[in-house]
């Protein structure tokens, strides 16, 4: 079982805890916490939610949705659950695991139902008192996939009571204690203050765990440096590519030290031929590149790094180093997502800058009811065309449908990134 290092977040009535206070600046939270810790190789987020009344719950669920939408790692959540509907809201907010406090009798009563409805793998439990689980242990082990130990209980004491994988909450203990607890046999993950405060060194912590023989999700070299084919200076060229857009960002070189440091830290390191020194991308500018994947080509003499680029890649301030055009010709874009984005951009521009005689502006002027009517009509046209032996007709109707869907998306402020994130979350 791979052990997880989990970042804990706190939401109270829709506000997220940050820097000793709660804030409703969710964009700041997403940028400086959610994206950052995902980039530096944390394994999951555990969101502890406190909420009062329906308004507090709704605001908290909304904040949770923003976090899960942006997060590239699993999000687990605890919540003041009072009924099965609360569990459904967390599941629909894309919480990968929902934590029920079984010290509440009402949660015992619904445990079997929510487990069967949403899947055992989505349900975890916690308790206020682990000293005597008694008859509840078998039910928890039957209908839950893990146990979150939030109080100050020792893993070995809890494991004597319940055999579920344990997620242990730790206060600000020593790094050695963190390593010891994580290495405990039935501990699936650890979270709490000690993980949050050491999160920037999460890859180093994973390295220490690996040295102890603990299995974690970390970068390791499937291809050793010795197998790569270097140039006469002992270097290998590396192409850095944006993992989301596919844009080629830059080309640089690595020596062995840069290669190994990149794998150890999860941040791109290169070798500067002009300075004759290793350097970490972004060490001065803050424009770091976090590794998503690293590949060698067929000849093992060039590397391709797909990265999460913070800021811009080029020292000139350009997003990519490749901006000096030498020659080009017009061509029709065939990349599906880029085509969607281009059409979406045109529709978005029409809304912001109306053009006389534009059908798109006609739809926006008529309002949401007209847009919805056209979406429904075009969906029906697809059904009718699908009954026609000529399959070619379907592509025209689907194209019309997608165009009208994009008008609706722009009207409602939904982007293709939102759609892609939602689809990816359903894998």
User: What pLDDT digit, counting tens, does each position of 217-234 carry?
Assistant: 988 889 999 999 999 999
Are 123 and 89 a contacting pair, CB within 8 Å? Answer: no
The reported pLDDT for the residue numbered 365 is 96
Q: What dihedral angle (degrees, nearest 10) is formed by the CA atoms of 70, 32, 48, 419?
A: -10
Q: Do 4-211 and 336-425 have matching folds?
A: no
In the 3-class helix/strand/coil scheme, how is 323-356 assigned residue by residue?
A: CCCCCCCCCCCCCHHHHHHHHHHHHHHHHHCCCC
The reported pLDDT for the residue numbered 332 is 73
Are 225 and 256 a contacting pair, CB within 8 Å? Answer: yes
CATH class of 336-425: mainly alpha
The reported pLDDT for the residue numbered 417 is 84
Report how far residue 284's alpha carbon sits from residue 280's, in angstroms, rounded to the nearest whole number: 9
For 102-201, where are the alpha helices, taking DSSP H only? 105-118, 136-143, 155-159, 175-183, 193-197
Both tokens of 299, joined, read 């000849």
Q: CB-based contacts of 78: which residues, under 8 Å, 6+ apart? A: 46, 47, 48, 49, 98, 99, 101, 126, 148, 150
The reported pLDDT for the residue numbered 331 is 73
Question: In angstroms, how far apart are the furthest CA atoms of the chain?
Answer: 76
Both tokens of 78, joined, read 């605890």
pTM exceeding the 0.75 threshold for the entire prediction: yes
The correct CATH number of 4-211 out of 3.40.50.300, 3.60.60.10, 3.40.50.620, 3.20.20.70 is 3.20.20.70
Are 282 and 266 a contacting pair, CB within 8 Å? Answer: no
Dihedral sign computed on CA atoms, order 395, 398, 404, 405: negative
The reported pLDDT for the residue numbered 418 is 84
The reported pLDDT for the residue numbered 427 is 62
Which residue has 């194209």 as its token pair? 399
The reported pLDDT for the residue numbered 388 is 82
Q: What does the domain layout of the chain look like in residue ranges?
A: 4-211, 225-309, 336-425
The reported pLDDT for the residue numbered 132 is 67
Q: CB-based contacts of 182: which residues, under 8 Å, 6+ apart? A: 3, 5, 189, 190, 209, 214
Low-confidence ranges of the chain (pLDDT < 70): 132, 135, 425-427
Report how far residue 160's alpha carbon sits from residue 206's, in angstroms, rounded to the nearest whole number: 27
Count of residues for the chain? 427
Q: Shortest CA distance to 191 belongs to which of 209, 208, 211, 170?
A: 170
Query: CA separation (Å) from 291 to 50, 151, 153, 284, 312?
Result: 34, 35, 36, 18, 15
Find the distance separating the first CA and the last CA of the chain, reported in whole Å: 21
Consecutive H or E run containing 1: none
Are 17 and 45 a contacting pair, CB within 8 Å? Answer: no
Q: What dihedral angle (degrees, nearest 10) is formed by the CA atoms of 226, 267, 211, 151?
A: -160
The reported pLDDT for the residue numbered 156 is 81
Q: What dihedral angle (degrees, nearest 10) is formed by the CA atoms of 390, 393, 397, 398?
A: 80
Q: Which residues of 20-52 are buried (b: 16+ CB within 10 A; e: fewer)?
A: eeeeeebeebbeebbbbbbbbbbbbbbbbbebe
- Residues in a beta bridge with 248: 241
The per-residue pLDDT for range 174-210, each reduced to its tens digit, is: 999 999 999 998 999 999 999 999 988 899 899 999 9
225-309 — its CATH code?
3.10.20.810
């Amino acid at each position: 079982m791979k052990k997880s290092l989990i970042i804990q977040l706190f939401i109270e009535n829709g506000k997220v805890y940050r820097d000793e206070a709660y804030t409703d600046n969710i964009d700041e939270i997403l940028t400086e916490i959610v994206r950052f810790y995902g980039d530096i190789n944390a394994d999951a987020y555990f969101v502890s939610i406190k909420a009062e009344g329906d308004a507090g719950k709704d605001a908290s669920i909304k904040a949770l949705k923003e976090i899960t939408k942006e997060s590239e790692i699993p999000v687990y959540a605890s919540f003041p659950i009072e009924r099965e509907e609360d569990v459904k809201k967390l599941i629909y907010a894309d919480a990968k695991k929902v934590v029920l406090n079984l010290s509440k009798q009402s949660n015992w009563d619904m445990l079997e139902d929510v487990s069967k409805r949403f899947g055992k793998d989505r349900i975890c439990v916690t308790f206020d008192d682990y000293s005597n689980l008694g008859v509840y242990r078998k039910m928890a082990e039957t209908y839950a996939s893990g146990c979150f130990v939030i109080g100050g209980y020792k893993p070995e004491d809890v494991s004597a009571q319940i055999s579920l994988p344990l997620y242990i909450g730790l206060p600000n203990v020593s790094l050695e204690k963190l390593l010891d607890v994580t290495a405990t046999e039935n501990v699936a993950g650890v979270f709490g203050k000690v993980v949050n405060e050491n999160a920037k060194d999460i890859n180093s912590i994973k390295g220490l765990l690996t040295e102890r023989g603990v299995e974690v999700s970390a970068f390791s070299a499937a291809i050793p440096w010795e197998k790569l084919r270097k140039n006469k200076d002992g270097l290998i060229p590396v192409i850095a590519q944006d993992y989301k857009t596919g844009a080629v960002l830059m080309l640089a070189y690595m020596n062995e030290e840069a290669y190994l440091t990149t794998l150890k830290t999860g941040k791109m390191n290169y070798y500067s031929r002009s300075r004759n020194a290793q350097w970490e991308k972004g060490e001065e500018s803050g424009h770091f590149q976090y590794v998503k994947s690293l590949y060698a080509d067929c000849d093992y003499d060039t590397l391709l790094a797909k990265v999460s680029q913070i800021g811009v890649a080029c020292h000139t301030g350009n997003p990519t180093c490749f901006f000096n055009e030498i020659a080009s010709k017009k061509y029709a874009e065939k990349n599906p997502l880029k085509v969607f984005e281009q059409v979406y951009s045109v529709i978005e521009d029409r809304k912001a800058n109306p053009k006389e005689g534009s059908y798109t502006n006609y739809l926006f002027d008529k309002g949401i009811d007209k847009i919805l009517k056209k979406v429904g009509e075009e969906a029906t046209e697809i059904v009718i065309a699908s009954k026609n032996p000529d399959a070619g007709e379907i592509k025209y109707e689907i194209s019309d449908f997608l165009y009208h869907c994009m008008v609706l998306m722009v009207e409602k402020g939904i982007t293709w990134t939102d759609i892609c994130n939602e689809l990816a979350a359903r894998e």
